[in-house]
C-alpha cells in the first residue's frame, strides 16, 4: 500500500484577510452541519457566503447559496452532535489550499485570495465541492474562465518560461 504524503498546511499568514474570512465562514458552515472536519464542500460554502467578493458573485450567477447548502447536506449529511474546537482539514481540502497557493503565484500574488481558493477547488477536481457543482449542473470550465478573468492575465515568472531555441 502506497501512502501519499501531504504537504505541510498553508499558514493563514499566506492568505488575504478576505481568504481568512472565507475560512471562518467555512468553519461556521462545517459547525452548522455538525461536521468534525473542514472539507472542500465547506470551503465552497465559505466562498459563497462572502457576498461582497467577485468570486462569490460569479458562483451566485450559477447557483444560490441555499441550493449549494442543500446539495452538500444531501451528499454528506448532517452530523448528530455539535463539533467543538479546531476542525482538521481533509486531505482534499489541504490539496485545495496548496493548489490555491500555486494559483496565487501564477497571478503574481504573494497571498491567497478567495478567487485562488475557488481555482484551487476547481483544480483539485475530485472533492465533495466538485460533486456539488456537477450535481447542480454548473459548468466548471465557465466558472474557471470567469474567475480567471476577474484576476486578470496570469503572470509567468522568468524562471517559468520555456527555454528559447
Query: Which grid coordinates are listed for 85?
Result: 474546537
Specify if 164 maps to a domain: no
pLDDT tens string 108-155 = 888 899 999 999 999 988 888 999 999 999 988 899 988 988 888 777
pLDDT tens string 42-63 = 999 999 998 788 888 888 889 8
- Residue 116 burial (10 A CB sphere; 0-12, 13-18, 19+): buried
Specify if 38 maps to a domain: yes
Report the pLDDT averaged over residues 101-113. 89
**Structural domain that includes position 97:** 14-151
Q: What's 111's domain CATH number?
A: 1.10.1780.10
Specify if 53 maps to a domain: yes
- Nearest 5°: the CA angle 9, 109, 162 is 100
Q: Please tell me the total count of domains within the chain.
A: 1
CB atoms closer than 10 angstroms to residue 79: 14
Amino acid at each position: 500500500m502506497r501512502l501519499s504524503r501531504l504537504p505541510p498546511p498553508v499558514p493563514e499568514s499566506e492568505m488575504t484577510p478576505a481568504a481568512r474570512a472565507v475560512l471562518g465562514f467555512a468553519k461556521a458552515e462545517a459547525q452548522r452541519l455538525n461536521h468534525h472536519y473542514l472539507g472542500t464542500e465547506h470551503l465552497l460554502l465559505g466562498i459563497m457566503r462572502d457576498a461582497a467578493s467577485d468570486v462569490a458573485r460569479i458562483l451566485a450567477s450559477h447557483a444560490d447559496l441555499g441550493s449549494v447548502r442543500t446539495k452538500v447536506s444531501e451528499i454528506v449529511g448532517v452530523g448528530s452532535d455539535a463539533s467543538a474546537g479546531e476542525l482538521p482539514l481533509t486531505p482534499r481540502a489541504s490539496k485545495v489550499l496548496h493548489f490555491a497557493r500555486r494559483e496565487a503565484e501564477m497571478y503574481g500574488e504573494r497571498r491567497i485570495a478567495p478567487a485562488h481558493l475557488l481555482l484551487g477547488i476547481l483544480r483539485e477536481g475530485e472533492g465533495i465541492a466538485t460533486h456539488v457543482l456537477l450535481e447542480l449542473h454548473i459548468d466548471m470550465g465557465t466558472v474557471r474562465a470567469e474567475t480567471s478573468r476577474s484576476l486578470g492575465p496570469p503572470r509567468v515568472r522568468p524562471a517559468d518560461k520555456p527555454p528559447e531555441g
